[in-house]
């Protein structure tokens, strides 16, 4: 099998780019396992004691864990 020098260079460049693309894809997929994910919890602030806390995303009103006051979630 006799390859011309331009084809050898072309194969080396394409192979290197494919290797870099594969490593970038692998690194991006693995990074997702270790980075923290955004929380979907809602943020609440107590109107009585000013304590800031979170609760599940499907909760509209939540009791303050400090004083027991019923509070609505904070809109950002």
CA distance 57 to 42: 5
Which residues span the domain enclosing 51? 42-72
Please check whether residues 1 and 28 belong to one and the same domain.
yes
Q: Are residues 53 and 26 in the same domain?
A: no
| Contact predicate 46/73, CB 8 Å | no
Residues 30 and 48 placed together within one structural domain of the fold: no
Tally the domains of the chain.
2
- The closest alpha carbon to 51, from 28, 25, 74, 18, belongs to 74
Q: Are 64 and 71 spatial neighbours (Cβ–Cβ below 8 Å)? A: yes
pTM of the model: 0.52
Residue 70 has pLDDT above 80, yes or no: yes
Higher pLDDT, 39 or 17: 17
* Percent of the chain at pLDDT exceeding 90: 66
Same-domain check for residues 50 and 66: yes
Is the model's pLDDT at 21 over the cut of 90? yes
């Amino acid at each position: 099998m006799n390859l011309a020098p331009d084809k050898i260079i072309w194969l080396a460049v394409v192979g290197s780019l494919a290797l870099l693309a594969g490593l970038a894809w692998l690194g991006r997929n693995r990074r997702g396992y270790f980075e923290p994910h955004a929380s979907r919890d809602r943020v609440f602030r107590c109107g009585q004691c000013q304590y800031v806390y979170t609760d599940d995303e499907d909760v509209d009103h939540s009791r303050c864990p400090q004083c027991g006051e019923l509070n609505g979630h904070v809109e950002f």
